[in-house]
Amino acid sequence: MKVLKHSLIAGLMCLSSWVALAGDPAKVLIVANKRDSESLRLAEYYSEKRGIPKKNIIAFNMPREEEITWSEFVEQLYNPLATHLIEKGWIEGALTVEKDRAGRVQAQCQGTSIDYLVLCRGVPLKIKHEPTFLTDAERAFPPEEQHLNNNSASVDSELTLLAQPETSVSWVLPNPLFDLDEPDKLMRYPSSMVRVDKRLLENPMYIARKVRLQMNNAIVRVARLDGPTLMSAQALIDHALQAEQWGALGRVYIDLGGPYDRGNEWMIAAGKLFESHGFDVTYDEDKELFPEDARFDAPIFYFGWWSMHPKGALASPYLLFPSGALAFHLHSFSSRTLRMEEHYWVGPLVTKGVTGTMGYVYEPYLDAAHRPDLFTEALFKGMELGEAAYYATPFLSWQAIVVGDPLYRPFKVSLGTQLLMIQAGENPPNAEYAVIRKMNLLEQAGKDSQALAFAMAYLTRTPSIALALKTAYLQVKLGAPDKAIEVLEFVAQRPHFVGESIALARDAAVFLTELNAKEEALAIFRHLLLSVSKRDAMTQSILKAAVASAKHFNEEDLVRQWGMRLGASEGVPKAQEDK
């Protein structure tokens, strides 16, 4: 991820404050590739699941490759689609006989009635740079500014301008949907990218780019259903529908450590917003990502940046995102391809079960990336995934994509409704995290005793390690360590741990050690070490904690036994472990 080194005049008019889109399935259009049977199947699947009229499915013959040329994009997707949308009245306007420098059809447009345009797996992903499309003004830029002369882009971002003809194909265009509560923010964006520059004000190329970017109802919000396999792309739809029954339930994880303060500030601001709404938030400030042995249970939201590929907890075999999870890793090439399950970011995140994510097909530069703080703000205002993503991105005609069902609204069900469901005897997946949110809000209001009573009422019905840990911490805070031990006793009685409960049980055993609860702590460690067999970072973490606990309680036999196992684990070369 690079920082931009030049300025750009952002010709934005003042727009009215944000009003929720509340996407209408009848106004969602689905685009598929006729040459790809899976693309057509996915379009049908989405139409059926979301109640989108079958007539809203549009299919053309397109290349099946992810990367295409501008000629292929214009001739096989842009022109046929623009013509269809105008002829069918989705875009209000009329075609002209003219074409632009890239061969795109031109039209007189007044707006669009499209809520979302959804591209299905099989529709090309990105467009190669084409030097012959550069204008004389663009070629005249000095060598240190040649990075501006770039017309590579995501297919998705170029299609946002279907109702905005007469725009240049090179560089970026200001997004009128960006942070609509402060419509002039782009002009005050903290970067040289949008500094008002007299030379640029007089440049005809930039003046032309202001043309017709005057109506936020003339921007087509584009998302895609895509991933390494058809099944993983279909799961994006299923997860969204499942999550909307209960609302977002889980924890928040923020990976800091990138090279620019501005990016870290965005991430921290997003985390603080989650905290203010009661979510448990864990920040990792190391340059590396969350380590494999980190607590990473129920990651309903994840924001991070500056790693080429997932690793650590994000690549752990224990990780599976809960339904409804939104995850975003800000990296220059997070969407270089969507066909790989372990490389780059969007493909692996979809494979791991996220419901929605965002990414970049080529270098976007930091200041043209999605703002995680604004994305979070938009979600808490009740926006859908598709609406929030465009609220958070400052520029169009560039490198971004949005992957997932754009109609998905993570906070469609409020915390209050979630708690009423739980009190009525319903037990949604990860219900304990709604209780934890309520506890956090009560603690923030200085009502610790109420928070404790609220937690205990749920624990008596449905034991949960995550909630028990939270409750035990609160018991100690209130001066009742013996009660904290009682709360965690049931963890010691579990004979086996799997998945994300492994890290939770380890943390419970460590806490019990601090409370001098010998029998409970050592019992959990014994059961944990029967539950893990791999010589991996998580097993080593458990062994280190177990040895420390045994030393604390002067259990020499256990120190020797677990120490030998730890030494054997640490002594195996990595290449041998992987066999």
- pLDDT tens readout for residues 220-278: 999 999 999 999 999 999 999 999 999 999 999 999 988 899 999 999 999 999 999 99
Q: What percent of the chain has pLDDT over 90?
A: 74
| Angstrom distance (rounded) from CA 441 to CA 435 | 10
Q: How far apart are the first and last CA of the chain?
A: 34
Q: Taking 90 as the threshold, does the pLDDT of residue 523 lie above it?
A: yes
Q: Chain-wide mean pLDDT for the chain? A: 88
CA dist 372 → 179, 262, 270, 276, 311 (Å): 12, 11, 6, 16, 21
Q: How many residues does the chain have?
A: 579
pLDDT band at 147 (very low <50, low <70, confident <90, very high): low
Chain CA centroid to CA 360, Å? 12
The β-bridge relationship of strands 400-404 and 153-154 is: unpaired
CA dist 540 → 299, 358, 565 (Å): 23, 34, 9
- pLDDT tens readout for residues 6-40: 333 233 223 333 445 578 999 999 999 999 999 99
| Angstrom distance (rounded) from CA 378 to CA 388 | 5
Q: Are 4 and 191 in contact (CB under 8 A)?
A: yes
- pLDDT tens readout for residues 57-100: 999 999 999 999 999 999 999 999 999 999 999 999 999 989 98
Chain CA centroid to CA 76, Å? 30
Q: What is the dihedral of CA 452, 455, 460, 466, to 10 degrees?
A: -120
Both tokens assigned to 45: 């699947």
Burial of 381 (0-12, 13-18, 19+ CB in 10 A): middle
